[in-house]
Structure formats: structure tokens, C-alpha cells
Amino acid sequence: MKAERIKRLSKTEHRDVHINVDYLKQPEAATHVVPVLVSELLSVTANYPTFLIKDSETGEFLLAALLGFAEDENLFMSGDGNWRSTHVPLTIARKPFHLSEDRTDVFIDMDNPWVSFESGERLFTDSGEFTLFMDKMLGMLERIASGVGETKSFVKTLLDYGLVKPVTLDLTFEDLQPRNLQGLYNIDHAKLRSLSQGDLSELHRRRILEGVFMVSHSLEKIKSLVFLKDRLNRKLTKVLG
């Protein structure tokens, strides 16, 4: 990506820019895991199994939603470019915008495939005001900016209390082919049960406990993901058969 194509958003320069959302054209949507924020956990865990994963470069733990079972497999993208769930993770939904570090400026990536001058959602009205679409995007950007630190603190607290453990998913699909997923972490229930009343009260006071239960219960969403994978395999079988 060329740095000169990252532009500070301007109502004069970008007056005719539209955002044409098509997830099939969004490179970052073609992923089987996506980082999420603790502030969106309620919506995320209602749709996706949620885990902690380790950043391959830094070794840092990240909160992430599982979207598929294979590299670059997103089972929530439909063939017409839509997203099949009630919540799109904010790190993808906010494309192609980001905030400056001091949160005073909005930048747009003009090379992003969603940027269009012909169709899609307008950014500015004829009078130069932000459209409702852009107001929504600004809200996402603010939520992301304020949520990064909160999410890091949430993950650190889980680690400090020893509540993170590796999990291995042994799955069998309709084609009877077993799948084994590793590199995922979830809540250590035994450690959670062993915490003192004082520790539990402190986690509840800091609203960590609520997130712990949401991440833990999201494992039930694995069944929904298996269903989507089986449905995809049936469609592929019909096409190839």
C-alpha cells in the first residue's frame, strides 16, 4: 500500500467518494480469525466462537473471533459479497477509514477496493456535512480507538489470574473427515472455580467476569460454524459432482 494513497478525509477532496461494501473484494475479510475488542464482546460472542490467540510476530495474546476452519476461510461471507451474521467485527467493518493517534483526524485509504466514485454510500451530503453512514463510521473509529487499551487490559487480567489455557478442537464434519484446530486459548474453568471470593468480587467489580463468561460460553458457537462448513461442502459437492 502506498503511503501517499492514505489521505486525510476532506469534504472538498472526497466529496464524490462513495463506499461500496462488498466483502468478497475486501482482502482483510478473507481470514479465519479476526481480532475483536472487549467492548464488542456481547455482539461478537452471540455470533462467533471467541478465543485468545498469540500474535505470530510478537507472541502477544489477542482476543479473536473464529470465522472458519482453514487458512483464509471466512464462512460468514456469502457469494454475493454480504456478511451473514448480525455483527461484523469492527476491525473489518470500519474499512477503509482509521483515526489519527490523537483522534483528531480521519484518514481514508484510497486504494481500498470499497472506495468508489460511482456507487455505494456517500460520505458527505451536498452541503458538505457527514452523512448518516459516515456518522456511523466515525462512531466505529472512536469505539476502536478507546477499545484497544481496554482490550489489552482485559487480556492481561486473564493472564495475571491464570485464567487462560490452550484448547484443541477435534471436529468431525458430514464428510467424516476429522479436523484438528490448535493454537487457540480459552478460559480455564478449573482455575476460575478455584479463585477466592475476594478475587471473584474484584473481577466482577472491574467487569472482567462478564467477559470471561461470554468468551467461555461462545464455544457453543462452534456448532454453528460446523453447520456453515457442512453447508459449504454440500454446495461444493453439487458443483463438482
Q: Are 36 and 50 in contact (CB under 8 A)?
A: yes
Q: How far apart are CA 154 and CA 159, in angstroms?
A: 9
Q: Which residues of the chain carry a pLDDT beneath 50?
A: 1, 241
Report pLDDT for 173: 78
User: HSE (CB half, 13 Å, CA atoms) of 10?
Assistant: 6
Q: How far apart are CA 219 and CA 87, in angstroms?
A: 17
Report pLDDT for 1: 43
C-alpha grid cell, residue 26: 475486501
Question: Angle 208-217/197-205 helices, nearest 10 degrees?
Answer: 90
Scan for cell 458527505, then name that residue. 124
Report pLDDT for 176: 64
Q: DSSP string covering 43-69, please?
A: HHHTTS-EEEEE-TTT--EEEEEE--S
Report pLDDT for 239: 52
Q: How far are the Cα atoms of 21, 56, 117, 132, 183 from residue 81, in angstroms, in the given order? A: 8, 29, 19, 22, 29
C-alpha grid cell, residue 185: 486459548
Report pLDDT for 232: 78
Report pLDDT for 4: 63
